[in-house]
């Protein structure tokens, strides 16, 4: 009985972790972690941006383009 309950609790925790990761991916919260992984794979000599520098760069990319809403 105890092992069945432990397995169920383990499944619930894994499912909750997957849902939380999905929410973070959806809202863009994991962008910096993905940037660091990609930067490490490239093995370039330039230092990786700090979290703050990355955030500012993303804002500049987003708002430097012309908006065609109207």
What are the tens digits of pLDDT across the range 42-60? 877 788 999 999 999 999 9
* Measured CA distances, 19 to 13, 15, 22 (Å): 10, 6, 5
Among 18, 16, 19, 12, which Cα is nearest to 4's? 12
pLDDT exceeding 70 applies to what percent of the chain? 94
Residue 29 has pLDDT above 90, yes or no: no
What are the tens digits of pLDDT across the range 14-27? 999 999 999 989 98
Domain membership flag for residue 55: yes
Among 45, 49, 44, which Cα is nearest to 60's? 49
Domain membership flag for residue 68: no
Beta-carbon count within 10 A of 6 CB? 10
Number of domains in the chain: 1
| pLDDT of amino acid 18 | 95
Q: What residue spans of 1-70 are helical by DSSP H?
A: 2-27, 31-42, 51-63
Domain membership flag for residue 20: yes
In terms of pTM, does the model score above 0.85?
no
Domain containing residue 34: 2-63
């Amino acid at each position: 009985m105890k092992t069945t309950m432990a397995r169920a609790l383990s499944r619930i925790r894994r499912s909750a972790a997957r849902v939380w990761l999905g929410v973070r991916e959806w809202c863009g919260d994991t962008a910096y972690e993905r940037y660091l992984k990609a930067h490490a794979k490239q093995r370039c000599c330039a230092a990786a941006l700090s979290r703050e520098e990355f955030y500012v760069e993303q804002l500049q990319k987003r708002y430097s383009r012309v908006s065609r809403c109207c």
